[in-house]
Amino acid sequence: MKQNEKSSPETRLRRVEGRHNALIKRLRQAFAHAELTDEGDCAIEGVHVVEEAIRSGLRFRTILFRESAQALAARFLPQIGSHVETLLVPERIFDSAVPSESPQGIAALVRLKEFSLDDLFERIELGPIVVIVGLQDPGNLGTILRSAEAFGTAGVILGEGTVSRFNSKVIRASAGSLFRLPVVSGKVAGLDAIVAELRAKQVCLLATSSHKGTPLDQAALTSRLAIFIGGEGAGLPKSVMSQMDETIAVPHSPRVESLNAAVAASIVLYEAARQRRP
C-alpha cells in the first residue's frame, strides 16, 4: 500500500468518544457475532494479525488504536493508505468492542479476498481441496487453514456445522493464512451439491478417520483429491461417509483414543505434500 507522506500519524488520527459511535457498534457486532459487517468487512485485532493483513494486501476500511497504544500509529499508519479511516479510541470503549481479554491496542475492518468453487478447481493441480464438516473449535479450524496453506492445497470448503471463519480465534490461529488461502463456504449450496460438483470434476473423495481405513503411509495422495475432515469427537456424518471413495487413517498408539482434528488433518496434508514432491 502507498505510504502517507503528507501528514504525520498524529494528524491522521480522529478521536472517537462515545461507545455508541456507529463504527464502534459495527466493530463490536462483527466480533460478537463472528460475521462480516453490513458493508462486507471483517473485524480483526492484534498486532500480528494486522501485520499479516497488510502483508497479504488486504484492503483496509478503518484502523483503530487504543489511546494507550497510540505509539502503534507511528508504526502502522505509514503502511496504510491515506484513504483509510484512522481512529483513536479511549481504553474503555476500545476494550468493550474487541474480544481479547488483554487487548494489544489495535483493531481494523478489512475486506477479505473472495473466492468461488471454480477458483479451487483451477488450483487443484497444486494440491488437494480440503472440505471441513462440523468442526466447532475455532483454534482447530485456524490451525487447519494454516496447515492447508503451508502444505500447498487448492483451498478449503467450509461445510455445515463448522465454526465461522470470521471468528477472531480462527483468524488468530490461522496466522494470516485466512487472508491468502482460497476459502469457500459450502453451507449455502449444501454438502450434497458440493459432492456432486467434485465428482463432476473427477475428484476423488477421501475421508479421514481415527480408527479405520487405509493406513496413511499406504494411501496414494497424488491424484485430484478432496480430503474431508470431520468435527471433534463425532467425525464425519454417516451421510457424508457413505459418499466417500476411500477412508484413510493416521496410525497412532492404541493408548491414545484419537488425534486432535487439527493435528490429524495437518499430518494428512503433510503426507499429501510429501508424495507430490518431485
Give pLDDT tens digits for 77-128. 999 998 999 999 999 999 999 999 899 999 999 999 999 999 999 999 999 9
The answer, yes or no, to whether residue 11 has pLDDT greater than 70, is yes
Going by C-beta distance under 8 Å and a sequence separation of 6 or more, which residues neighbour residue 50? 44, 63, 76, 106, 107, 108
Res 10: pLDDT:
63
Cβ 24 vs Cβ 97: under 8 Å: yes
- Tell me the mean pLDDT in the region 151-172: 96
From first CA to last CA, the distance across the chain in angstroms is 36
Between CA 112 and CA 116 the distance in angstroms is 13
With contact defined as beta carbons under 8 Å apart, do 61 and 85 qualify?
A: yes
pLDDT at 8: 61
Query: How does DSSP classify residue 222?
Result: -
Query: pLDDT grade, residue 187 (50/70/90)?
Result: confident
Grid cell locating 232: 471433534
Place of cell 493508505: 81
pLDDT band at 139 (very low <50, low <70, confident <90, very high): very high
Average pLDDT over residues 185-211: 88
pLDDT tier at 1 (50, 70, 90 boundaries)? very low
pTM for the whole structure:
0.91
Q: Which residues contact 98 (CB under 8 A, 6 or more apart)?
A: 27, 31, 45, 107, 168
Output the pLDDT for position 2: 47
pLDDT of residue 38: 94
All domains in the chain, ordered by first residue? 9-111 (3.30.1330.30), 117-276 (3.40.1280.10)
Nearest partner of 250 among 265, 240, 238, 236, judged by Cα:
265
More confident residue, 182 or 82: 182
Stated as kind and residue range, the H or E segment containing 263 is helix 261-276
pLDDT at 5: 47
Residue 9, pLDDT score: 62
Residue type, 219: A
Structure confidence at residue 190 (pLDDT): 83
If one compares 40 and 210, the residue with the highest pLDDT of the two is 40
> Which residue in 73, 164, 187, 68 sits closest to 112, CA to CA?
164
Least confident of 65-74, 84-93, 206-215, 249-258: 249-258
Q: Which pLDDT tens digit goes with each residue over 18-34?
A: 777 899 999 999 999 99
Task: Lowest mean pLDDT of 48-52, 110-114, 158-162, 253-257, name the range.
Answer: 253-257
16-24, long-range: CB within 8 Å, 24+ apart, which pairs? 16/64, 16/87, 16/88, 16/89, 16/90, 16/93, 17/90, 17/93, 18/93, 19/92, 19/93, 19/96, 19/97, 21/93, 23/62, 23/85, 23/87, 23/109, 24/89, 24/93, 24/97
Q: Residue 250: CB partners within 8 Å, gap ≥ 6?
A: 208, 210, 216, 259, 264, 267, 268
